[in-house]
Amino acid sequence: MSLTRRAFAASAALVASPALSTARPRPIVIAHRGASGERPEHTLAAYRLAVAQGADFIEPDLVPTKDGHLVARHENEISGTTDVASRPEFVARKATKTIDGQAVTGWFTEDFTLAELKTLRARERLPALRPASAKFDGQEAIPTFQEVVDLAKAESRRTGRTVGVYPEMKHPTYFRTLGLPLEERLARALKSNGLDSRTAPVFVQCFEVEPLKRFRTLSKARRVMLVSNGPAPVDVKSAAGLKAIAAFADGLGPEWPLVLPVADGALGPATGLVRAAHAAGLAVHPWTVRAENRFLPKALQRGASPADHGDATALVKALYAAGVDGVFSDFPGLAVQAR
């Protein structure tokens, strides 16, 4: 084991292990796609800023390239987050595909080699809401998962605190049908980086049940089941559903209104989800706190524009008060300060 890996592994328990305990003195802050409210998402610049703001974990969504490398993109369709649509050499790559039952038109990572993707430049996905972030368009390349892990290790050494990684497997069933399975690739990557343990500073997340079950057979890393505030593959509002999740996952990642429902434009009292999940042995890491009015209930909005920042601090504090074990945020500095 290299000195770098020993140092990273030795400090892992400082952040990782207590995160599953209800006795943890403070919840973890997960930088959703990096500090993605202030830099183009899933770029090394966004991840570095998140660490500087105090995030405990940085979150890369993972999709594969044509030649099997894992790269950090929210979706495999990349026209909204890169300059691919303006590249004449890639005009012929535009396609329409059916992904998880939805027809999607654009350019897809699985049709590019890593070398080809590295020629593209990242851009802000929501420029109308995040014009300050859009000023950084064109400055960053698409990072590989290995580059994200290397950044986390380097920042752990630099800051003297553990910076973990929180990868999400995107559309794993779809990619398995293409012969580009995510589970095995991610498991190999974690093992090669000394992250294949329950105390390693890593959580592996997914919206799909079977891929998480499969990943459980490939790696000791902890797993988190993601669920949205709508139809979900497992009923998280029942004890039986939470018990079923606990059989293959260590944590629950609910959309935040499942913890704090919105009624008449305001935050309502916390549901019993956190308490019930804890009773089932699951950590709870809700997603995603964003500062813009567009993403906040009316009572927390400030100013007239959807891009104006509202009182997201009140939302974060309410989630902390509800007993969550961690929070995803596009503005990790805000979540750290509220903590």
Q: Please identify every residue annotated as catalytic.
A: 32, 74
- Residue 80 dihedral angles phi and psi, to the nearest 5°: -85, -15
- Rounded to whole angstroms, the Cα distance separating 114 from 7 reads 30
Largest CA distance in the chain: 56
Nearest-CA neighbor of 290 among 265, 245, 247, 327?
327
| Number of helical (H) and strand (E) elements in the chain, helices listed first | 13, 15
- Rounded to whole angstroms, the Cα distance separating 72 from 60 reads 5
- Give Cα 101 to chain centroid, integer Å: 22
- What residues contact 183, with CB distance under 8 A and at least 6 apart? 169, 172, 176, 211, 214, 215, 218
Strand partners, 205: 168, 224
Burial class, 120, CB count within 10 angstroms (exposed 0-12 / middle 13-18 / buried 19+): buried
- Rounded to whole angstroms, the Cα distance separating 15 from 24 reads 10
- What residues contact 295, with CB distance under 8 A and at least 6 apart? none
Q: State the DSSP H helix or E strand holding residue 210, giving kind and residue range, or none if neither.
A: helix 209-216
Return the amino acid letter for 198: R
- Give Cα 278 to chain centroid, integer Å: 21
Instruction: Report DSSP state, residue 202.
Output: B
- Rounded to whole angstroms, the Cα distance separating 278 from 264 reads 29
Do residues 329 and 335 lie in contact, with contact meaning Cβ atoms separated by under 8 Å? Answer: yes
